[in-house]
Chain A
Amino acid sequence: MSTYRGNKRQHFGKGGGRRGREHGDAGAVDENNPVIQCFREYAAILDAKHDKYERIVKISRDITIESKRIIFLLHTIDARKNNLRKVCEEAKERLEAIFRNHFVNIAKELKDQDPYQYARAYTNGMQEFIEAYTFYEYCSGKDISNWDAIQQKLTYKKSQYDVQSDVESATEKDNLNPGSDSPLDVVSTSTLTTTAKKGSETSEMACMLHPQDFVLGLGDLSGEIMRTCVNSLGSGNSDSCFQHCRFMQELYKGFLSVTAVRSRDFSHKMVTLRQSLLKSENVCYNVTVRGGEAAKWGTTDDVSSALFQVQLSKDDDDEGIFF
């Protein structure tokens, strides 16, 4: 022990140690420099911010995966198997689980933050989730919820998350602690959450649903409906094609009514929506002209459908996973 210490001192004396050299060089880090002290502080703040962002991105990715699976599950609804209720039950349960397990964590991260600062981190997950959720509602024959209703579900009351989040709060504290010696934001959030846990019972936290995410999610929904439309033709349930098609026309009308949106995604989605609509209209056209039986045999594979890459001959069940 003592020899080690002596060694260290020796290094220091010679200026050969790392720290000693730092003080010697003009360009190296000088801890006493006010500029350096300031930047240490800024570094901590930036790191805390980036870490939070990354954590949210991670949760968002999990939500995306699970939502895609739920959509895939909902595509297995088949009138011939009479499994509508069973599948819907399961989908509902899994969607509720996303609220319970994933969004609550995002809400925790966003507590006392400006939600718009991190909106980009979870926009993909949110859109995919909206797609799954509205698709579930559509499949089970309910009305599509407005975003207020979903926002309500994304707002967590104190009592609601306290019961189940003992383990989670422990991990959350672990996440917060490493940086908590200097950055202002982190310190105050961690103290705030702890006081909230002990104190006021009415505290509320929310995972913000951006209305634009909701509408873009609805845009994605159109793709799923188109697929359902084509699928139901394959399973001989050609009557429902018209119903799906009408819904998509409504959706398209809704999208057309939107003006002055500040997003490139939006116009991109419009194009995709239009293509999906044309596909399903084409299906309905073929059902009308040739009857449900004939349309199944690939007569839709004409010029217009080739243009939009409809491949009815393929097993459409697979496609749920690609989009």
Chain B
Amino acid sequence: MQNNVKNIFDSFNDYLVKEQELRTEIRDIVRDIDQAAKEAAIVLQIIHSSMADVPAACAKARTIFATCREGYGKLAALIPAGQYYRYHDHWHYMTQRIVFLIALTIYLEKGFLVNRETAAEILGLTIDQKQGFHLDIEDYLVGILQLASELSRYAVNSVILGDYERPLMISKFVADLNSGFRLLNLKNDSLRKRFDALKYDVKKIEEIVYDISIRGLRTEAAAVAPTAASSATEPSSVEEAKQT
């Protein structure tokens, strides 16, 4: 019996050592992807200071996503089948941030919300758990929530830059997001906590819209320079919203 206990712990130690080795490899790859993601985040900060450079920043971010995609490919090759959630904690923060960056880029380019499938596609992932390495739904949703806080900041800065139309667009977009998130039954977990912060972003943006409206800045901007205010990428749904 005594020997048996020793055997058990020996094999347990072997198991731990193997796991540790794999985790080290994962960590290396994750660090590389994370580094790239940081670059993208820095590039996209330009939106808060200059309107004209936004398309270029988006293009740059797109190339960085391609790098991330490669990294995810390596990661997918490393993770044994059916063990995604065993090592999930290594990359879930990073994935959330990258989803946020993708969502921001697509919002800036096209003005709509990237869905989970497209976000996964950009990273070379699937949304189907059974196909192995996928984009976890909660990571996606947290990424989208990060987008909301970034947009509240973007709204402030676009007012500073003299674009009074953009906050209105953002307001509508974030309101949509908000009502979307209200459809979810969230458990009391990190996603829930993150969601609870969304209402402050909504409030902040609504206050900006209020400030603009009450000073008549909105109509003025729309009447005087509609072409200057709206970039070429403005979506039609927002145009409609403006009219009403």
Contact = CB atoms under 8 A, between A and B. Distances in A.
A114 B179 contact: no
Interface stretch (A33-41, A64-72, A302-310): A33-41
Contacts of B82: 114-116
B129 A35 contact: no
B4 interface: yes
Given A43-B184, A47-B185, A114-B84, A261 B5 contact: no
Interface residues of B, number: 47
Interface in A8-49: 26-30, 33-36, 38-40, 42-43, 45-47, 49
Contacts of B141: 42
Interface residues of A, number: 50
B15 A211 contact: yes
Interface stretch (B50-58, B70-78, B92-100, B170-178): B170-178
A151 to B, nearest CB: 12
B215 interface: no
Contact of B183 (A40, A117, A247): A40
A254 B16 CA distance: 14
Contacts of B13: 257-259
A312 interface: no
A184 interface: yes
A50 B185 contact: yes
Contacts of A253: 5-6
B200 to A, nearest CB: 16
Contacts of A251: 5
Contact of A26 (B7, B86, B175, B177): B175
A35 B184 CA distance: 13
B62 interface: no
Contact of B16 (A26, A49, A259): A259
Interface in B56-91: 82-86, 88
Contacts of B187: 50
Contacts of B175: 26-27
Nearest to A49: B137
Contact of B9 (A34, A148, A188, A255): A255
B1 A36 contact: no
A54 B202 CA distance: 32
Interface stretch (B33-41, B110-118, B156-164, B225-233): B110-118
B216 interface: no
A172 interface: no
A197 interface: no
A204 interface: no
A258 B9 contact: yes
Interface string A78-89: 000000000000
A146 B185 contact: no
A253 B115 CA distance: 53
A144 B184 contact: no
Nearest to B137: A45
A265 interface: no
Given A29-B183, A144-B5, A250-B6, A114 B83 contact: yes
A114 B1 contact: no
Nearest to B180: A39
Interface string B1-35: 11011111111110110001000000000000000
A314 B5 CA distance: 31
Contacts of B182: 29
B197 to A, nearest CB: 18
Given A42-B116, A114-B84, 13 more contacts: A28-B179, A34-B112, A35-B113, A47-B185, A114-B86, A144-B4, A144-B5, A146-B7, A214-B12, A215-B12, A250-B6, A251-B5, A257-B9
9 contacts: A29-B183, A33-B176, A35-B112, A35-B113, A42-B116, A114-B86, A144-B1, A215-B8, A258-B16
Interface of B: 1-2, 4-13, 15-16, 20, 82-86, 88, 112-113, 115-116, 127-130, 137-138, 140-141, 172, 175-187
**7 A-B pairs closest in CB distance:** A39-B180, A254-B9, A116-B85, A117-B85, A116-B86, A35-B176, A250-B5
